[in-house]
Amino acid sequence: MEKQKTVAAVYTGQGLAEPLKAVFQELLPDVRLVNIIDDSLIGDVVRAGHIPPSVARRLVGYYHSAEELGADVILNTCSSVGEVADDARRLIGVPIVKIDDAMAAQAAAQYDRIAVLATLPSTLEPTMRLIQRHADAAGRSVALVDGLAAGAFDALVSGRPEEHDRLLLETAVRVAAEADVLVLAQGSMARMEQKLREAIGKPVLSSPRLGVERVKAVLEGLA
């Protein structure tokens, strides 16, 4: 009998764990999903405006823990720290999948003008760099449109989700006018994907499902 596969999902905040669990139950119901959540990480990144060395060290420690608990694949769920996952691959003996990698690759391959919607500069900038890297690797020229929804993150953490959603929607409509596709930089925005698509009348890409599909493909490759 084949041993049950284990995926360890590493989170820097609380918001995405439940929605992502539902995607795993749909796409990978037989996989053991282990969540490692340290919500101090994103707070430290937001305060610093970049990834401090202490956050990078803790993250690599969690990847090591994931490997030790028997993970076949590690899923890095936070776009703000994706570049730490890139560096950590040299140190960790199991594949690390970045939740937004497949989304960035699809955007870079299929669209010329790409708007990136985010509530934090610390998420927006790495996501834009990731899309640009995929475009460069594919030999494509793309135009990236900055869709920072100023004030939305503060509204969310202050318990004003309606204001967060309104600011996201307004920003999406504004930047989509200059783009062929809207990319949602934060996985937690996926719940608004349909509403945003209806509001802008253009394709919208989010990371959770595409990220789990990538995990599934990596697991199948290991088999």
List the CATH number of the domain containing 173: 3.40.50.1860
Domain membership of residue 166 (yes or no) is: yes
What's the domain range around 171?
Answer: 101-207
Local confidence band at 212 (pLDDT 50, 70, 90 cut-offs):
very high
Question: Would you state the pLDDT for residue 90?
Answer: 95
Domain membership of residue 1 (yes or no) is: no
Half-sphere exposure of 69 (CA within 13 A, CB side): 19
Domain membership of residue 54 (yes or no) is: yes
Based on the structure, what is the number of domains in the chain?
2
Mean pLDDT, range 38-57, rounded to an integer:
93
Domain membership of residue 34 (yes or no) is: yes
Taking the C-alpha atoms of residue 94 and residue 119, their distance in angstroms, rounded to an integer, is: 31
105 and 196 belong to one structural domain = yes
95 and 105 belong to one structural domain = no
128 and 59 belong to one structural domain = no
Dump pLDDT digits (tens) for 58-99: 999 999 999 999 999 999 999 999 999 999 999 999 999 999
Residue 2, pLDDT > 80, answer: no
Which SS3 state, helix, strand or coil, does residue 96 take? Answer: strand
The proportion of the chain whose per-residue pLDDT surpasses 90, expressed as a percent, equals 85
Mean pLDDT, range 153-181, rounded to an integer:
93
Phi-psi region at 88: left, alpha or beta (left = phi > 0; alpha = psi -120 to 50): alpha
87 and 119 belong to one structural domain = no
Which SS3 state, helix, strand or coil, does residue 102 take? Answer: helix
HEC per residue, 51-87: CCHHHHHHHHHHHHHHHHCCCCEEEECCHHHHHHHHH
33 and 45 belong to one structural domain = yes
113 and 194 belong to one structural domain = yes
Residue 143, pLDDT > 90, answer: yes
Question: Would you state the pLDDT for residue 200?
Answer: 95
129 and 159 belong to one structural domain = yes
117 and 188 belong to one structural domain = yes
Question: Would you state the pLDDT for residue 215?
Answer: 98
Mean pLDDT, range 25-42, rounded to an integer:
96
Question: Would you state the pLDDT for residue 70?
Answer: 97
186 and 126 belong to one structural domain = yes
13 and 88 belong to one structural domain = yes
Q: Which residues pair with 75 in a beta bridge?
A: 9, 97
Residue 102, pLDDT > 80, answer: yes
Domain membership of residue 160 (yes or no) is: yes
56 and 145 belong to one structural domain = no
Phi-psi region at 17: left, alpha or beta (left = phi > 0; alpha = psi -120 to 50): alpha
Domain membership of residue 110 (yes or no) is: yes
105 and 202 belong to one structural domain = yes
Of the two residues 3 and 130, the one the predictor is more confident about is: 130
Question: Would you state the pLDDT for residue 1?
Answer: 62
β-bridge pairing 143-148 and 96-98: unpaired
